[in-house]
Amino acid sequence: MPDPKDILGSIAGGRVLDVATGSGGFIHFLFAGLRDYTEIIGVDASPRAADAFAAAFKDHPAIHFVQMDAHNLDFAPASFDTVCISNSLHHFENPVCILQQMSRVLRPGGRFILAEMYRDGQTEPQLTHVHLHHWWAAVDQAVGDHTHFQTYSRQELIDLLATQELQDVALSDFLDTTEDPKSPEIAAELEAVIDRYIQRASGHPDLQSLGEALRQRVHQIGFHSATTLVAVGLKPVM
């Protein structure tokens, strides 16, 4: 199975679109991994993402942020050489619509990149990540934030990608082997996040109890980032 870094290193990115970019976390991976690029545009519907994005890329004049709804990308058809989305597909109730919008703005022969963590086939410390993520999504839903859902299985991601009729799709699984599941630093970071979400779940005692159980799991079993499926395909040339 190909290494995601090897795949990216073979791609001349050209004009790149990163959908649901947030603060631009995946863009760091892109500009470090792509063979080259002329411009990278990150789009996100959240106005809060703009400041963090600007701070992260203030020294990169070819990298820009645009506040935009991914359900209706305000770009011309076939206007990008590369389109990508990373660990954000589970934030959309209609993921096929998002993928269709990405395909629309991608030129024929351009590269389509999907990177998304999945819930199955994980080790016990990785399942801590999956369970935490699903708890975070449940808390967000309970307080009225309907832009956060549970993660997909690996096969569900492959099936979603298949709706776009891409060619020469290369699949690889990315796992950060440098992580220590019992890292005190990671545990301390998670403590803060769990505290925040328990407070956010005020009025939902079952969710607060689940948060405390997951806190114990972090310390007893450990935490390791879930494996990510990285898929790269070509839009057919008609």
Tally of structural domains, the chain: 1
| Rounded distance between C-alpha atoms, residue 150 and residue 158, angstroms | 16
CATH number, domain of 75, equals 3.40.50.150
Nearest to 225 by CA among 88, 156, 133, 157: 133
* Domain region containing 168: 4-234
Residue with tokens 């689940």: 210
Instruction: Please name the residues in contact with 166: beta carbons below 8 A apart, sequence gap of 6 or more.
Output: 112, 233, 234, 235, 236
Stretches in the chain below the pLDDT threshold 50: none
Q: Count, in order, helices (H) and strands (E) of the chain.
A: 8, 7
pLDDT at 227: 97
Q: What is the pLDDT of residues 39-91, one digit of tens each?
A: 999 999 988 888 889 899 999 999 999 999 999 999 999 999 999 999 999 99
pLDDT at 184: 96
Tokens linked to 232: 């790269």
pTM > 0.85: yes or no: yes
pLDDT at 146: 87
What are the C-alpha distances in Å from 67 to residues 31, 46, 75, 115?
21, 7, 12, 21
Helix (H) or strand (E) holding 107: strand 106-117
Phi, psi of 81 (to 5 degrees): -90, -25
Cβ contact 65:53 at 8 Å? yes
pLDDT at 5: 67
